[in-house]
Each structure stands twice: as structure tokens, then as C-alpha cells.
Amino acid sequence: MSLASHDELHGEAVAPDGLSAVQLKPPYLIYFGDVRDYGHAKTGLGLIQWRRELCAGQLRAAGCQVDGGLRDMSVTEAAAQGLGSIIIGVASEGGSIPRAWVKDLAEAARAGLDVVSGMHVRLSDFPEIAMAARASGARLIDVRTPPKTIPIGVGTKRPGKRLLTVGTDCAVGKKYTALAIEQEMRRRGLDADFRATGQTGIMIAGTGVPMDCVVSDFLSGAAEMLSPAAASDHWDVIEGQGALSHPSFAGVSLGLLHGAQPDALVLCHDPSRTYLLGAQDRQEFPILPIPEAIEQCLTFARRVNPKARFVGLSVNSSSLSDAERRELFTRYERETGLPVADPIRDGTARIVDKLLEE
């Protein structure tokens, strides 16, 4: 698919199917700014995990406590080595760009690097960045731009098969799990496509719908648009967003559940958390027990697809020792009857085996 920017300054485009599409210029300089935790650095870390061959360096401001394992570079070094884009690698709460970052981003634009953002704010809203881009010819690419025309969801079951990743919280590996499942399915020769619903996934896949930017009435329609009618043996592996139990982000999760009409679901979980992301300091809103989270999702999924079923539990076990991991996975399998895997450490073969069971 050949995608072109629609004007001189901006790099958004529309794919032939009407979805948001981006064409980024590699190699990438991943900008972590002054981010202090790995959870909010998921955009940069996701690109490094799944498109490592396109990521040449990282730029970290004073106070940054995240290391993506790339070579540290200044803007001057990146431009001298021919890097094509600086990508904001942070998914900040509220999707804002701190003023402290503007100087670095404007410097990159002035040096001729395209500036790529997955934030809610527009890059062109910052005069320093916009002027620098105009002077050099660099593009400002706002990935979080939904399609202009989205239909209302209708809820009618359509041909093809769909798997949706859901979570016990935000930022628990829904994107990683979906990408790993698609990779395993393709390895087996199955007809499968990853469907991106967030800014990082769109950067990785080149197309998708940023669901958290869609007007709420159109969320389920956007999910239907993202995963249209397909051949009976085709699988769309849809990246989940938010969590049904999260007071801040449940809306996008429900819209995806209704619009995706999933045949299969995989629950993603981080056992190191006790409270929902954003509520830890207040110690409010505990993470739901796994069986309760599964039942909550099935209640809404079966409204649009009575045959919806869970086929696996994806667990981020990076905080666990080997012994803790074995004990926890054994308990989860006993509680749910589902295969449990860490997609990074274990792969997703057992989950795909369960998926393909009749």
C-alpha cells in the first residue's frame, strides 16, 4: 500500500479502506523526554520491541529514568547520521506535550527530521515546532487522528473471525499480546491481520483507528470499520484498549467489545499491580480477580456474539522470579481452565492452540 501525506506540513493520510494511515520516514530517533516510568514510555518501547530494525537511537532529557536500550543521540548526531524521524515515545496522561519538550522537538524539526506524535494535542499548535518544520520542510505527523467519516455501529454479525485482547487494567500488554498472536498465526500459515487501535499500534502497522479519539457515539462503528467483513477463515487480531473496570477508560473498552463482536478473547494482566493505573497513590479501585474480569467481559461480548469465549490469559511476568511465575501460572490455569503465557518470554503457541480448538 502506498500512502502519501495530504499537505506540505502534515503527514496524516487515509488508506483506501478509510482508516487512518501513516507513512513514517526511518530510521527513527525515539524521544523519551523526561519520562520517569516505563509504563508511560510504552510508545517508544513498543516500537523498539516490534520495529527494532527501524530504531537507530534514543534522545533522553534530564531526569529521564527510561532506557530503551538504543544508542543515546543528540539531534545534531541524529541529523548527521541521516535519521528520518523523531518519534515521541511517551504516552502521557491526557495526551499532552509538556512545554519542556518543545525546544527539543523544534530543534529536530529545524534539523529536517519529521516529528511524529501520538498525543491528543496537535504538533502545529506549537508555533516553535511549526515554524521550524516550515523552514526545513520536515513533516509534522499527528498519528492520533481518526477517520473523518465513521458510521454508527449496527451490531450485526459479519463474516470472518475476530480475536480481541482485553485487560484487567490499562497498559498491561494488550498490544504486545495481539502482535505476538498475529505473529504466531502467520508462522503457522494462517490468514491473520493485526488491527491497531492506539497510536503505537498504528505506528507499527501503518494503519488503524485511534479509538480514544473517536466521538463516543461512533466507537462501536469505528471497531466495525476497523475489522470489516472478511473470508470465513480470516482472523483479525484486534488490539484492545483500556479496561471495563477502569472508571476513566471503560468507554473505549466497551465500544471495542461491541464493535469487534469477538469470537475469541484473551485477557491481559500484570500481577505486580494491586490498584488500577492512576489510582495507586489513592489506593482506590483494586484490580479485579481474574475470574471476575473474565465474566465481566463475557457479559458484554456475548450481547453481540453469543459464542464469544476466552482462549487464554496473557501475563506480564517481568516482575516475578521463576518460582513465583510457575506458582502463579499454575494457579491461574487452575482458576480459569485457560492456557497462561507471557507473550514475550513464552510466545503465544498455547493460546493459538486453544484458539483453533473447535
What pLDDT does residue 7 have? Answer: 38
Return the DSSP state at 316.
-
By DSSP bridging, strand 20-22 and strand 28-33 are unpaired
Q: What are phi and psi of 167, to 5 degrees?
A: -140, 160
How many angstroms separate the CA atoms of 127 and 130, rounded?
Answer: 5
Q: What is the pLDDT of residue 15?
A: 55
Q: Where are the alpha helices (DSSP H) in 206-289?
A: 219-226, 250-260
Measured CA to CA, the distance from residue 145 to residue 142 in angstroms comes to: 6
CATH-assigned architecture of domain 12-142: 3-Layer(aba) Sandwich (3.40)
Q: For position 71, what pLDDT does the model report?
A: 98
Chain position carrying cell 520495529: 51
- Identical fold for domains 12-142 and 161-355, yes or no, is yes
Torsion of CA 262, 238, 224, 170, to 10 degrees: 90
Containing 178, the helix (H) or strand (E) segment is helix 174-187
Q: Please list the pLDDT of the chain residue by residue as tens digits (358 residues).
A: 223 333 334 455 445 466 767 789 999 999 999 999 888 898 999 999 999 999 999 999 999 999 999 999 999 999 999 999 999 999 877 788 999 999 999 999 999 999 999 999 999 999 999 999 999 999 999 999 888 899 999 999 899 999 999 999 998 999 999 999 999 999 999 999 999 999 999 999 989 999 999 999 999 999 999 999 999 999 999 999 999 999 999 999 999 999 999 999 999 999 999 999 888 888 899 999 999 999 999 999 999 999 999 999 999 999 999 999 999 999 999 999 999 999 999 999 999 999 999 6
User: Are the C-beta atoms of residues 121 and 95 closer than 8 Å to each other?
Assistant: yes
Angle at CA of residue 343, ends 340 and 347, nearest 5°: 90
Using a 10 angstrom Cβ sphere, with 0-12 exposed, 13-18 middle and 19 or more buried, the burial of residue 190 is middle
161-355 is classed in which CATH architecture? 3-Layer(aba) Sandwich (3.40)
Rounded to a whole number of angstroms, the CA Rg of the chain reads: 20
Gap between the Cα atoms of 197 and 207, Å rounded: 9
- pLDDT at 43 (0 to 100): 94
Distance between CA 254 and CA 297 in Å, rounded? Answer: 9
176-to-50, 68, 87, 307, 312 alpha-carbon distances in Å = 9, 16, 19, 25, 14
Instruction: Give residue 181's pLDDT.
Output: 98
Residues 6 or more apart in contact with residue 294 via CB below 8 angstroms: 267, 310, 336
- Domain ranges for the chain: 12-142, 161-355
pLDDT at position 95: 81
